[in-house]
């Protein structure tokens, strides 16, 4: 008979950690949130059979070798595309998405900033300053400005609520409507045109999936109102970048604030760097905050022990 199986429901968790270069922050945060947790930082793994949970960012394929008692994988990011792209990901181990308040707050701040920039025409006044031009531009009130939020999950919903509190006219786009949607919602391909036709400022907070790849392209860009502005803080793959450049150059699109790109880091010879209509940031819209994230993981483990179910499970096989 081999050694007894280590189980999350009966034993103290042993967590394998592979982070985005913030090991020490995570170790300290786990020590505060779950002093009983043993953390092993990859590749210092010890006895692999003792490891029953993992918190991961961009795991290499060899990380999964011998992890036969792994019961759950926590994703460090809200987006799980890079995790799902790992060919060695064990098929039957549940993956829990990162949903934590500081990550959400950071994303809301970032997107509000970009919406305010475009609504209050700061991109135009910056251009005017460069030309020493003292000129007042016509300003629409927030209530007459429609902001379309594409991707109404955890982040999109939090953003929409804040936008509404600033009086913007907010509409949302998702796969399926849910009961009690407090925002006018458009769902699925059948309603994408009706949604985009109204979105003077389009904010994209979509995950990277087969279905969202290039969802914004020449055809859908043409559905936006003339001189619309676009913000993308979801994933770069959602936009056909060549089509975006053409829409900016033709004036169909006024400006774009991009935090995510098809290739990251953005290559130095990419035309986005020098385009006057593009504001770009290096995938910093929001990052996971270890103290609140470790409390979320502690609560998830506790909920699993009590009820046997994980929160915010990744729907593998259904487009994620
Ligand atoms: P959620 O899973 O909570 O929400 C995703 C939303 O996208 C849902 O509303 C979902 O629809 C919608 N959606 C998915 N596929 C489609 C589709 N084919 N057509 C229409 N709508 C679709 O994710 P989060 O809100 O937590 O995060 C969103 C994304 O933000 C992450 O996946 C990540 O890529 C990105 N992100 C970027 C960061 C950055 O720093 N730039 C930081 C954190 C996250 P439905 O509601 O019907 O399921
Ligand atoms: C992401 C994240 O998914 O940082 O981009 O959470």
Q: pLDDT per residue over 270-320, tens digit each?
A: 999 999 999 999 999 999 999 999 999 999 999 999 999 999 999 876 455
% the chain with pLDDT above 70:
97
Which residues approach ligand 2 with their CB closer than 6 A?
Answer: 77-79, 98, 287-288
User: Averaged over 52-80, what is the pLDDT?
Assistant: 96
Burial environment of residue 268 by CB neighbours within 10 A (0 to 12, 13 to 18, 19 or more): exposed
Mutation choice for ligand 1 from 78, 194, 213, 215, CB with most ligand atoms inside 8 A: 78
DSSP 313: B
Q: pLDDT per residue over 245-265, tens digit each?
A: 999 999 999 999 999 999 999
Which residues approach ligand 1 with their CB closer than 6 A?
Answer: 78-79, 107, 151-156, 173-176, 205-209, 211-212, 233-235, 259-260, 283, 285-286, 319
Confidence of residue 6 (pLDDT cuts 50, 70, 90): low
Phi, psi of 76 (to 5 degrees): -70, -30
Peptide bond into 265 cis (omega under 30): yes
Phi, psi of 81 (to 5 degrees): -60, -40
* Claim: this prediction has a pTM higher than 0.85: yes
State yes or no: is 235 an active-site residue.
yes
**Across 1-5, 31-35, 298-302, least confident range:** 1-5
Atom of ligand 1 nearest to the CA of 206: 7
Dihedral angle of Cα 77, 82, 84, 86, to the nearest 10 degrees: -130
Q: pLDDT per residue over 152-172, tens digit each?
A: 999 999 999 999 999 999 999
Expressed in angstroms and rounded, the spacing between residue 205 Cα and the centre of ligand 1 is 5
Expressed in angstroms and rounded, the spacing between residue 78 Cα and the centre of ligand 2 is 5
Look at residue 203 in the predicted model and tell me its pLDDT: 99
Mutation choice for ligand 1 from 155, 259, 284, 286, CB with most ligand atoms inside 8 A: 155
* Mean per-residue pLDDT of the chain: 95
Atom of ligand 2 nearest to the CA of 76: 6
Look at residue 317 in the predicted model and tell me its pLDDT: 61
Phi, psi of 18 (to 5 degrees): -135, 105
Q: pLDDT per residue over 173-203, tens digit each?
A: 999 988 877 899 999 999 999 999 999 999 9
For residue 86, pLDDT beyond 90: yes
- Taking CA atoms only, the protein residue closest to ligand 1 atom 7 is 151
Pick from 44, 96, 147: nearest CA to 299: 96
| H or E, element range at 214 | none
d(CA 249, CA 70): 51
Peptide bond into 136 cis (omega under 30): no
For residue 1, pLDDT beyond 60: no
Peptide bond into 129 cis (omega under 30): no
The CA-atom distances, in angstroms, between 50 and each of 29, 39, 260 are 22, 11, 37
For residue 3, pLDDT beyond 60: no
Contacts of 223 (CB under 8 A, 6+ apart): 192, 193, 196, 197
Taking the chain, what is the end-to-end CA distance rounded to the nearest angstrom? Answer: 39
Q: Which domains are assigned to the chain?
A: 14-100+288-305 (3.40.50.720), 101-280 (3.40.50.720)
For residue 207, pLDDT beyond 60: yes
Look at residue 2 in the predicted model and tell me its pLDDT: 54
């Amino acid at each position: 008979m081999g050694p007894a199986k280590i189980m999350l429901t009966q034993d103290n968790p042993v967590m394998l950690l592979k982070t985005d270069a913030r090991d020490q922050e995570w170790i300290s945060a786990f020590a505060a949130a779950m002093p009983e947790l043993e953390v092993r930082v990859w590749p210092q793994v010890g006895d692999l059979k003792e490891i029953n949970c993992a918190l991961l960012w961009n795991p290499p394929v060899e990380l999964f070798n011998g992890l036969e008692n792994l019961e759950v994988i926590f994703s460090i990011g809200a987006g799980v595309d890079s995790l799902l792209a790992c060919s060695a990901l064990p098929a039957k181990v549940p993956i829990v998405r990162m949903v934590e308040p500081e990550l959400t707050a950071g994303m809301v701040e970032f997107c509000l900033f970009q919406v305010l920039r475009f609504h209050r025409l700061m991109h135009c006044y910056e251009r005017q300053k460069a030309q020493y031009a003292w000129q007042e531009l016509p300003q629409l009130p927030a209530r007459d400005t429609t902001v379309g939020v594409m991707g109404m999950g955890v982040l999109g919903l939090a953003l929409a609520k804040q936008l509404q509190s600033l009086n913007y006219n907010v509409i949302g786009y998702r796969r399926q409507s849910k009961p009690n949607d407090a925002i006018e919602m458009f769902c699925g391909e059948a309603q994408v045109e009706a949604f985009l036709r109204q979105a003077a400022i389009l904010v994209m907070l979509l995950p990277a999936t087969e279905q969202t790849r290039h969802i914004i392209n020449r055809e859908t860009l043409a559905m936006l109102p003339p001189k619309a502005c676009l913000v993308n803080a979801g994933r770069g793959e959602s936009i056909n970048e060549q089509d975006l450049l053409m829409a900016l150059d033709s004036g169909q699109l006024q400006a774009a604030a991009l935090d995510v790109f098809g290739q990251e880091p953005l290559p130095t010879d990419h035309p986005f760097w020098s385009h006057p209509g593009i504001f770009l940031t290096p995938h910093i819209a929001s990052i996971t905050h270890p103290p609140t994230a470790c409390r979320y993981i502690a609560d998830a483990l506790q909920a699993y022990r009590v009820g046997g179910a994980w929160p915010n499970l990744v729907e593998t096989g259904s487009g994620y």
